[in-house]
Amino acid sequence: MAIEEPIEEKEEAVQQTAERYKVRIENVNGWYGSKRAIKDVNLNVKEKTVTAFIGPSGCGKTTLLRCLNRMHEMTPGAHADGRVIVDGVDIYDKSIDPVIIKRRIGMVFQKPNPFPTMSIFDNVSAGLRLNGMNNKTIIREIVEESLRNAALWDEVKNQLDEPGMSLSGGQQQRLCIARALAMQPEVLLMDEPTSSLDPFGSSKIEELVRILKDNVTIIIVTHNMQQAARVSDFTAFMYLGDLIEYGSTNQIFMNPEKELTERYISGKFG
Amino acid sequence: MTLDSNSDSNSNSKPNKNYRHILQETVNKKYRRRLLVNRLVTIFTIVCVIAAIVPLVSILLEVVKNGASAISFEFLTQPQGSMGSGTGGIAPAIQGTIIVVGLASLIAAPIGVLAGIYLSEFAKKGIFVDLVRFFNDVLTGLPSIVIGIVGYTAIVLTTGSFSVIAGALSLSIIMIPIVVRVTEETLKVVPYSLREAGYSLGISKAIITLFIVLPSAKNGILTGIVIAISRIAGETAPLIMTILGTSLFFTGITGPVDALPLRIWRLSSQPYESAHAFGWGSALILILMILALSVGLRLWAQKRSLKAVI
């Protein structure tokens, strides 16, 4: 494809202005059996920014996201190759335990998935407790802080023993964000976190994303272009497994270089 | 069908309207028939429900009618008096059933649940797992007398005596495949998204299985265990071959013991009226014990998971 050449120029431009990259994606391929769902993707993500992956259904944006914490390979028959360098360490290196890597890179899923047998408190503390932490004071502090950071504390502080499933859809999703934040992640991956929520729930999550980026590097997959425009600093447009264009969100939306990007942004397909 | 055959002749002018018309006609024509079929099927299903319930209810009524009069404090607490006298009770059989079934459950439930967990969560696809599943299913369908013979040759003959252990092991062989199957099926229904949520927190698979997946499947697995216990509590054939039956109380796990199904069987083959009444009484007690177990466990499970359900 002739599309690929100018991407590198673009990346160089980004690289010059950036001081430090939190996540560097190098030649990543994602496979389902023998089908290549993402093709040689190269992308650098700056620390404490929000990066959005956009593109039509089936373009590989979720697969790419799931390659960033080695969740992709958990799907039966799926595997990934290439390098994903987080803070200078390749998470695909043979010496790295794929279980450990997920403690540093949090993930929020498309549908809220709180643990149904656990209370609100236990949901947030699950990652801590089940990873062996048993200092009750510290756990309690982290739970409160995480719920505050997820903008849920005021709504649930008097019902921490209620089941997590008793919350509304939007609250459940913020509970899942709190659960991820409790692990003190440096990178937070969000896979269409608002697609199953109503507009009110969605706007709460978006607000949260803008606040959270002060502490965490966020990568968010979204179907909703307005959402990408509202919350992200950088946007990557993907199509049929290729990274078509990557740049600052302003540039992608106001002045895309590729015709394909322009056509997608303006709603001509997708 | 109707749409296809008529569409050619009508499609020249206003096709949409004509299709609608044909469809309407077809629907009207079939409407009465559909109403009739609907009613017939409803009646048929109700008849089937009655056919399923009548034997159950009549058995229960018969057991209560014949057995209730036999039950007394003495009946529940004393060993049997002399033959045909109609004195004493079935206490050793109640005690024996609790001990043998309890021991069998203690052996079978953990093995069955762990094997089910392995099949559902850890086993890789392949011929080994297929074989395990196949033999497990075969074991479920094995006649219990065969398992009794296995218990007899393997344990009774080698140790030289009928024993509680032989009975409990035989019953656990009947119970294990049921528990394995139920556990595997129940775990498979737990949504993958829960396991995924666990993985995303960097929790290891074993911990996820134990503390996230298993609690979500707890009620289903518990129900399966109760069904399996009910099944083995009523088994007679393997017990004849293994615990023999006695009119005395429990003496130790290496000695013979009595059990309710065995007692019912022996009492029913005696010529005395009073023995038959005792048999009915024993049957009623056995049914009540199984009922109490399943209702009790269900209530307990409900109470514990009520918070998570609401």
Please enumerate in sequence order all residues whose Cβ is within 8 A of that of A257, keeping only pairs 6 or more positions apart, or say none. Answer: A6, A10, A245, A247
For A181, the closest chain B residue by CA position comes to B201
What does B33-68 look like in DSSP terms, one character per residue?
A: HHHHHHHHHHHHHHHHHHHHHHHHHHHHHHHHHHHG
Provide residues of A within 8 Å CB-CB of chain B.
69, 71, 74, 99-104, 106-107, 109, 111, 113-119, 126-127, 130-131, 161-163, 165-166, 176, 179-180, 183
Average pLDDT value for chain B: 88
Instruction: State mean pLDDT over B212-221.
Output: 92
CB contacts of B201 in chain A (<8 Å) are 102-103, 106, 126-127, 130-131, 179-180, 183
CB contact under 8 A, A163 and B198: no
CB contact under 8 A, A74 and B197: no
**Which of B120, B189, B201 to mutate to probe the A interface, most A CBs <10 Å?**
B201
What is d(CA B102, CA B233) in angstroms, rounded to the nearest whole number? 9
CB-nearest to B203 from A101, A119, A131 is A131
For B191, the closest chain A residue by CA position comes to A113
The per-residue pLDDT for B8 is 47
In this structure, are B225 and B95 located in the same domain?
A: yes
Domain range for residue B20? 2-69
In this structure, are B63 and B81 located in the same domain?
A: no
CB contact under 8 A, B202 and A111: no
Tens-digit pLDDT profile for residues B42-95: 999 999 999 999 999 999 999 999 999 888 898 898 888 877 677 888 999 999
Please enumerate in sequence order all residues whose Cβ is within 8 A of that of B219, keeping only pairs 6 or more positions apart, or say none. Answer: B301, B302, B305
Taking the Cβ of residue B231 and every Cβ of chain A, the question of whether any pair is shorter than 8 Å is answered with: no
For A166, the closest chain B residue by CA position comes to B310
pLDDT level of residue B308 (50, 70, 90 thresholds): very low
In this structure, are B43 and B92 located in the same domain?
A: no
The complex's ipTM works out to 0.86
In this structure, are B118 and B152 located in the same domain?
A: yes
pLDDT level of residue B16 (50, 70, 90 thresholds): low
What DSSP character marks residue B204? -
Q: How far apart are the first and last CA of chain A?
A: 20
Res B10 pLDDT > 50: no
Nearest-neighbour CA in chain A from B260: distance (Å): 39
In this structure, are B57 and B195 located in the same domain?
A: no
Nearest-neighbour CA in chain A from B304: distance (Å): 10
What is d(CA A98, CA B245) in angstroms, rounded to the nearest whole number? 57
Residue that the structure tokens 């307005």 belong to? A226
What CATH number has the domain bearing residue B113?
1.10.3720.10
Among residues B35, B52, B69, the one where a domain terminates is B69
CB contacts of B215 in chain A (<8 Å) are 117
The per-residue pLDDT for A113 is 95
CB-nearest to B200 from A71, A100, A162 is A71
In this structure, are B225 and B290 located in the same domain?
A: yes
Among residues B69, B99, B124, the one where a domain terminates is B69
CB contact under 8 A, B191 and A130: no
In this structure, are B227 and B283 located in the same domain?
A: yes
In this structure, are B165 and B137 located in the same domain?
A: yes
In this structure, are B88 and B106 located in the same domain?
A: yes
Give all strands of the β-sheet with A187-191 in edge-to-edge order: A105-108, A187-191, A217-221, A50-54, A234-239, A242-248
Among residues B69, B89, B109, the one where a domain terminates is B69
The per-residue pLDDT for B225 is 93
Strands A50-54 and A217-221: parallel
Tens-digit pLDDT profile for residues B25-47: 888 888 888 899 999 999 999 99
CB contact under 8 A, B308 and A163: yes
Tens-digit pLDDT profile for residues B282-300: 999 999 999 999 888 878 8
The per-residue pLDDT for B181 is 95
Domains of chain A in start order, with CATH, are 4-114+186-265 (3.40.50.300)
The per-residue pLDDT for A4 is 46
CB contacts of A176 in chain B (<8 Å) are 197
Which of A177, A26, A34 is CA-nearest to residue B201? A177
Higher pLDDT, B29 or B159: B159
In this structure, are B39 and B176 located in the same domain?
A: no
Tens-digit pLDDT profile for residues B98-107: 999 999 999 9
Dihedral, B169, B174, B178, B179 alpha carbons, nearest 10: -10
Res B310 pLDDT > 60: no
In this structure, are B213 and B262 located in the same domain?
A: yes
Q: How many domains does chain B have?
A: 2
In this structure, are B118 and B16 located in the same domain?
A: no
CB contacts of B196 in chain A (<8 Å) are 71, 74, 109, 113
Taking the Cβ of residue B208 and every Cβ of chain A, the question of whether any pair is shorter than 8 Å is answered with: yes
How many CB pairs (< 8 A) connect A and B? 82
Tens-digit pLDDT profile for residues A17-50: 445 789 999 999 999 999 999 999 999 999 999 9
Query: Average pLDDT per run of 10 along chain A, which is 270 residues long?
Result: 47 52 94 94 94 93 95 93 92 92 94 94 96 94 95 94 93 96 95 92 93 95 92 95 95 93 86
What does A65-125 look like in DSSP terms, one character per residue?
A: HHHTTT-GGGSTTEEEEEEEEETTEETTSTTS-HHHHHHHEEEE-SS----TTSBHHHHHH
The per-residue pLDDT for B304 is 65
The per-residue pLDDT for B305 is 58
Residues paired with A28 in a beta bridge: A41
Q: How many CB atoms lie within 10 A of CB A80?
A: 21
